[in-house]
Each structure stands twice: as C-alpha cells, then as structure tokens.
Structure 1
Amino acid sequence: MNLQHCLINLNKLQGSELDSGYSLLGIKSLFSNKDMILNLPFTRSQFIQELPERQKGMSISGYQPKLSLYVKDNILQVINNNGTYILKPSPEEYPYLAENEHATMMVMQRLKFSIPPFGLFRFKQEDGKPEEFAFVIKRYDRIGSDAVRLHQEQLDGAMGINDKYGLSEGKKAVSYESAAKYLITNVNNSLKSKRDIFLRIVYAYVLGNNDYHLRNMGIILPDNAPPSLAPVYDFVSVVPYPSAFTEYLALPLLALEENDIDTAPGLNSKYGEYIGFDFILLAEHIDINLKLAQKWLGDIINSHQLIIDTYNESHMPEEHRELVLAYVARRINLLKITTL
C-alpha cells in the first residue's frame, strides 16, 4: 500500500487525510458528499458468501464477482436494482486485482480518457485477517437523482457477434480494425472519435490489457441524442497474472489477421510482436492521416513517464508494479519501430 496517496485520486495526502487514506477532493469527486462513511459495512467473507445471493439476476459483464450499491445515510449499501455504483473485490485467483484496476484506470484518467469516477474502499476488517480493498466505480449508465437507466449496448451485441472475443469455429474472426470501423461507421466518424478508439486500442497493448474484448466496448444509445462510445471501464493490466496473460491482445489487431488468414507485419518480423508499424497500419486502415497517426503514436511514447509515476503512486504491491512497468517499457520501445 502507498499510504501517502489518496485511495480515490492518488493525490498526496495532507494532515488528517493520512488517517483515513482519502483526500477531500477525492471524496467529492466520487460522491459529491464530504460526509460519506468510507469503509464498507460488510466483510469480504460476507461479500463472497452472502451478499451476491441477494442479487441473483444482476447482470454486469466481466469475470469478477460484483455487487450493485447505492448511497443511503452516507453509507454505500447493497441494492438489487437501480444501483448507482458497482463494487468489485479481487478474486482469489487474481490477488490485488482491485488495486490493479484502480491504478490502470487512473493511468487512463490522467491520459484524459472519459472515465466514470472510481476509488478503492476497505472491507470491514475480520479478526486476524489482513486489510482488503474493493474497487468501486460509479455507473455511467444511470442518470439523474432517480438513477434512470441509460440505454446502452455492448459491441459484440451491436455487431451481431455471439462471442466477446469474436470466436467463430475456433478462430478469431473479429479484429480491432473491424471493431473500430464498425464504431466509426455506426456511432461517430469524427476525428476526435477516431483518435479515442485508436488510443484505447494502443493503450490496451501498452498496459497489458489483454482482456479488452468486444463486451468491454460499449455504445450509449440515448433517447434524444446521437449514439456515443461509452467511457472506458474494466481496464486492467493482466501482466501480473501469467495464467491469464497468454496473448498480447484480446483480439487480432488487423483485419488481415482474422480467421488466421495472415499475420501482422510485426508478428512476422524478427521482433515477433506488434510494433509501431502495425499500429500505423491500423490508423491508416481506419482513415487516419499518416502524419497524425505518427504524432499520436509519439504522444503515447511520450506518456511513458506518466504511466511510471501513476503506477508508482498506486496501491498495487511492488512486485506487481515492477512486472507491469517492465512490460510497459518493452511495449513503448516496440512502438518506436515504425519501419520494416
């Protein structure tokens, strides 16, 4: 744990903030209420054994057990329907995943992506057991004081695909290139939107998020406004978990790789991994000007120090931080290779 940095926004704690682990700015950013009671009113054991039973039928994509929460009497309380927050602990098979998601989402937030407010919260402590944290994030698909549900669709459903990894007959049939083209054609074809989509894909590669699949890309469908790409969510680095980190990306990068028809140039080179050249190809295939693609790739390379600082300020264990940062350094160097 990094006891000097806020469990919400990673700001340096001052004075009495050091006792709680939360900065006033962090609390206000997540709850708009400085009087919140910040420790969870239940233990991790209660969460695992009892509370999800009260929420049968709740459906949120992802592999972590989750709870829907709302604020009542300045406390995060469990609710079956219309919750305004989601709570995710670290699964036993993926220790410290809550801290990992917090750190990785903070990287994305500092990179100016659209991110719902989020933070880390302590479970009620059990005798003789170490302190444990859960990741809590505000739902972006609930609006107004009545928490009205905002209609949305995950990308696999929108594209009529039955598998979140785009699998068909044992082969990956959907690439990030195809996913990006669908979003550009059907949601928003502005340069700003193209940049957002492109950067999300590149940062999934850089940060080791090989679980950035079609169901982790959402489309918001409001009644009285054009559709839009949902904020970034479920963004983690899988690098510290070797059993799950068996591929660089959840989907093939380029359309030519779909159904194993061909291989991306970087994978087929002496490097054996995706390189900057491959991401330049992706950009060109989704109608991003070459010079602009090169500039954006340069911006990503220049964000290396921000990534280092954020993970070092985070609450991830040191061993996990070191694994992630070594991986990021390798990816950054590969992005610098733009010719073959």
Structure 2
Amino acid sequence: MPLKSKCYACLKETNNLKNNYCPKCISELFDNTVPNKLTFDRKEFINKRAEMSDKMSISGVQDKISLAFDSSKNLIPTAKNGKYILKPIPIHDNALNLEDIPANEHLSMLISKEIFKINTAHCGIVEFSDGELAYITKRFDYDSDGKKYDQEDFASLMNITPSTHGKDYKYDASDYLGCSRLIKNFVASHKITVEDFFKRVLLNYLIANGDAHLKNFSLYSKPNSNEYTLTPNYDLLNTRYHINEKYGDMALSLIEDYYTPTFEVVGYYTYADFVYFAKLIELPQIRVEKIFKLANESLDKIEKKVINSFLSDNAKEFYLNTYKQRLELINYIMKDS
C-alpha cells in the first residue's frame, strides 16, 4: 500500500493529503500549518539532544527533543517554548525490535483516542531528512496564548521519589487503587475522572503496556485555575514486543497485596479482578459493563488500525495476537468464582 495515500497522523486513506497529512490532522496536530519533512536526520537529532539536554523542560528516559515551527514551516529543535515532542527510534541495548517503537506508540495512542474514546494527546509520524520515521506528539501543557498549565504526575502528587522509595519508585510505591484515591482527593468531578482512569488502566492491560507507571499519569490545571483533571493520555506502548519477559502485564498492581480467587488460579488479571477493582473505586457495575462492551466490540476496528499502521509485519501480528489474548483474559469467568 503506497504510504502517500495514508495520513501520517490518523492513518486514514485519502487522496486529499498535504505533505502526508489530511486536513483534519493538519488542523488538530499542527494548528493549520502544513509541516515540511524534517531538515535533520537521527544522527543530527542525537547531537542536538546532547547539546540541549540541560535546557529542555521535557522529562523521561527515552530520547526526545522539543520542536517548534520556524518561519519556513520547518519543525526545528528548540530549548524552550516547544509545542511538539519528537521521539525517534531509541538507542536501547536491552530492548528488542527498536525500529518498531515509534509506530507502536503511534498506533497505541490512536487506539486510545479513536477506538476507546479517551482524551489522548494528538500525535503522528514524521520523516527525518533521510526518510526514517519518528514519532511526534503535540504538547498539551500550554494554552493557546503560550501560558503553561500546572501539571504534576502521580509520583509527585504522592510525594514518591527515588530517595523515599528506591530506584523502582515509579512501579513499587503504589497501585492503581491508590491512583484512583488520589484522583478523588484532587479532582472535583472525580466520579467521571475515576471512570476515565479505569478505562485507561483496562486499555493498558489490553495492549500489553507494562510501563503505565506513576509518572505516566498526571493531573493538570489551566493557568489561573485551581481545578485539576487528568491530562490527555500519553506514553502508550505495547511493551511486551520490546521486552521479552513477563514484564508487560501491568506496571502496577490493581490492588497491592490482594488477588481474587480467579487470579490465584489463572495467574493473570481477568474479568473478576477488574470488577472487584471497579467496586473498590465505586464505579457502578453498569458503567463497567459498558466499558467491557466497548472493549469487546473493538476487535475489528483494532485489526484494521493495526493492519494500516506503520508497524512491521511481525510487529502487526504480535500486537494483534497480544490484544486478542488479553481480550480473552478479561472475558474469562471462572465457573466457581
């Protein structure tokens, strides 16, 4: 399938493309500026990243850099006031299938946004000057006037740091139940937000994202406002494809030190675990069933999205098979449970 017929952001096929993007995505992702191909390659990216590492405000361990448009509609690296974050194929000795990571994140974000209807950061695929693909996402922590939102990740809100909880603090210091309680403490409309959070946790399980840790969930408030809500979803990935071990089921436990009888037998989270988790966070059963219905009706749409993604053929097969396996697990009901 010719790449030129596929929008590099939404993956929809159309003849109405400008520099690889459809009009809707040019509006949503690039604020109506049609971007040119990047004027630098990954090697230059790495050099620029090293030069700017002490000046940039974006965090995280993956190679990334802030971008902004110049007067010629080129996206260029910038140390401050960047509106975009660029992530290329990373340099990571311990990960597998590195070349698929940008497409993996892009696909996972689209599934969150378009199929599960979760508020999700706008994103797409861009080309380096040599044609190599990279992942790009639009920053959501600035308003239209350039004022920065007050944003804190869950680790910060819980006062959890390496010095208080060790090097694996992002994974070991809390559970998803604790995250839900944090939402109730900080968010006025917490009932809606807790349901949103439940859906995000379930999605991460379905796509085998084992990196949905405390720093990959955040609350933010607009400038001159004290009302906090969940930020758009971000940093989604099928980690199982890149880390060849059981790590990848969940970054955090649903409920620390408690497992349902079904889990004790099966060894994985199933329907019973998510229902019990929902009960503890006071999510009505009727809402839980609606979310499960959405997940069960998603498979055909997921398959189409995976097939049309930028993943390699092996990655497409793995991604889809993993999703099907997880879908079977969340529908598993032990007869005596």
TM-score (ref. length: structure 2): 0.88
Q: Shift of the alpha carbon at 1:167?
A: 6.1
Shift of 1:327: 0.7
Structure 2 residue 107 is matched with structure 1 residue 103: yes
Residue in structure 2 matched with residue 268 of structure 1 by the alignment: 264
Q: Does residue 1:76 correspond to 2:75, yes or no? A: yes
Q: CA offset at residue 133 of structure 1?
A: 1.2
Deviates more, 1:237-246 or 1:173-182: 237-246
Give distance in 2, aligned partners of 1:163 and 1:204. Answer: 24
Matched with 2:210 is 210
- Comparing 21-30 and 273-282, the one that deviates more: 21-30
**Residue pair 2:63, 2:87 contacting (<8 A) in 1 also:** yes
CA distance in 1, matches of 2:129, 2:11: 22
Over 3 Å counting, the alpha-carbon distance change for 1:77 and 1:208 in structure 2 is same
* Displacement of 1:225: 4.4
Residue type of the alignment partner of 1:115: T
CA displacement 1:204-247 (0-9 Å, x = unmatched): 00001110001010110333241111110111111211347624
Give distance in 2, aligned partners of 1:293 and 1:280: 7
AA at the equivalent of 2:192: K
Q: Does 1:325 align with 2:320?
A: yes
CA displacement 1:284-335 (0-9 Å, x = unmatched): 0001122332332222222222222211111111111111110110110111
Q: Tell me the equivalent position of 2:133.
A: 133
2-structure distance, mates of 1:292, 1:268: 26
Cα displacement (A) at 1:189:
4.6
* Map of 2:9 onto structure 1: 8
How far off is 1:180 after superposition?
1.1
For the Cα contact (< 8 Å) 1:2–1:314, is it kept in 2? no
Q: Using the alignment, how far apart are the partners of 2:213 and 2:277 within structure 1?
A: 17
Q: Distance in 2 between matches of 1:27 and 1:189?
A: 32
Classify 1:25/1:280 alpha carbon distance in 2 versus 1 (closer, same or farther; 3 Å).
same
2:177 counterpart letter in structure 1: E
Secondary structure at 1:148's aligned position in 2? Answer: coil
Q: How far apart, CA to CA, are the structure 1 residues paired with 2:50 and 2:249? A: 32
Question: Which residue of 100, 104, 122 maps to 1:117?
Answer: 122
| In 1: Cα distance, 2:174 partner to 2:166 partner | 7
Question: 1:174 Cα deviation (Å)?
Answer: 1.0
Report if aligned partners of 1:238, 1:245 keep a CA contact under 8 Å in 2.
no
Distance 1:232 1:301 in 2: 21
1:241-299 per-residue CA deviation (whole Å, 9 max, x = no partner) reads 134762411001113x2xxxx43434311x22110110001100001122332332222
User: What is the distance in 1 between the residues matched to 2:102 and 2:177?
Assistant: 30
Q: Calculate percent identity across the aligned residue pairs.
A: 26
8 Å CA contact 1:210, 1:245 repeated in 2:
no
Alignment of 1:129-278 (within 5 A): 131-145=131-145, 147-163=146-162, 172-222=172-222, 223-243=224-244, 246-255=247-256, 257=257, 262-269=258-265, 271-278=266-273
In structure 2, C-alpha distance between the alignment counterparts of 1:59 and 1:162, rounded to whole Å: 18
- 2:229 partner letter: S
Deviation of 1:81 after TM superposition, in Å, equals 1.0
Question: Residue 70 of structure 1: SS of its match in structure 2?
Answer: strand
**Structure 2 segments unaligned to the other structure (5+ residues):** 93-97
Q: Per the alignment, in what secondary structure is the counterpart of residue 58 of structure 1?
A: coil
Residue 163 of structure 1 and its aligned partner are, at CA, apart by 4.8
Partner of 1:40: 38
Name the CA distance, whole Å, in 2 between partners of 1:302 and 1:86: 32
Deviation (angstroms), 1:162: 1.5
Aligned equivalents of 1:80, 1:168: Cα separation in 2:
28
Q: CA deviation at 1:33?
A: 2.2
- Equivalenced residue count is 324
CA distance in 2, matches of 1:40, 1:294: 45
